[in-house]
A = this chain, B = another copy of it.
């Protein structure tokens, strides 16, 4: 037993890459650390996992404590375990990413939420720990996933224009804005899958001619998949 006991000296944490989409930009929610190690540095929101807590539960807790949101898109991505990644001892971290609608979002009064701030993906500097690597890997996962699963809609308001949807894809895929994807092809592709529903109302409060609003329809998507088709943008 004593040989086995020497292994029970580790801890593990969850870290959550919370993506949002605002002002045409893909953003990530970061926390400015108030304590050592890496005091003052920006970091991914995360926490040690309690002894009696499942991993997904811990990731949901971190998200809810920070944003007040429950039941949003959350996916385990990869576990990072370099031997020297944490100064306090052997701590491996299970990385998740979440997709949230920025319009639903309000920072909670929790003390650590006060130091939270949205950063444009293109404007993230050096982060604490190995968090730049974790962010990169989660972004790559999102970039693959957004092309073959309807996860991009999690980042948009319930009702959106096709221009907003295209901007979302261009932003996630790091393509030039309004130029990265061919507008006609993009619209043809997305509408041909028949997973969007046209809303009765039009866009409001814009200077140009109001555009049509659309909603993603989960039932139509399930039908689309049941018929053997694959989401593909």
Interface residues of A (CB under 8 A from B): 4, 6-12, 48-55, 76, 78-83, 88-90, 92, 94
CB–CB A49/B81 < 8 A? yes
Find chain B residues with CB under 8 A from A6 CB.
51
Find A9's partner among B51, B54, B78, B94 (CB 8 Å cutoff): B51
Find chain B residues with CB under 8 A from A76 CB.
78-79
CA distance A83 to B83 in the complex (A): 24
Most B Cβ at <10 Å: residue of A12, A76, A82: A12
Most B Cβ at <10 Å: residue of A10, A11, A89: A10
- A7 in contact with B51 given A12-B12, A92-B12 (CB within 8 Å): yes
- A82 in contact with B94 given A7-B11, A11-B8 (CB within 8 Å): no
Find chain B residues with CB under 8 A from A78 CB.
76
The oligomer's copy count stands at 2
CB–CB B51/A79 < 8 A? no
CB–CB A81/B94 < 8 A? yes
Which residue of B has the minimal Cβ distance to A11?
B7
CB–CB B79/A79 < 8 A? yes
CB–CB B9/A83 < 8 A? no
Find chain B residues with CB under 8 A from A80 CB.
55
CB–CB B7/A9 < 8 A? no
Find chain B residues with CB under 8 A from A7 CB.
11, 48-51
A187 CB, nearest partner CB in chain B, Å: 21
CB–CB B83/A52 < 8 A? yes
Find chain B residues with CB under 8 A from A81 CB.
12, 49, 54-55, 94
Which residue of B has the minimal Cβ distance to A80?
B55
CA distance A7 to B90 in the complex (A): 11
Find A79's partner among B8, B52, B94 (CB 8 Å cutoff): B94
Which residue of B has the minimal Cβ distance to A1?
B88
A3 CB, nearest partner CB in chain B, Å: 10
CA distance A83 to B81 in the complex (A): 20
- A92 in contact with B11 given A49-B81, A76-B79, A81-B49 (CB within 8 Å): no
Find A53's partner among B12, B54, B83, B89 (CB 8 Å cutoff): B83
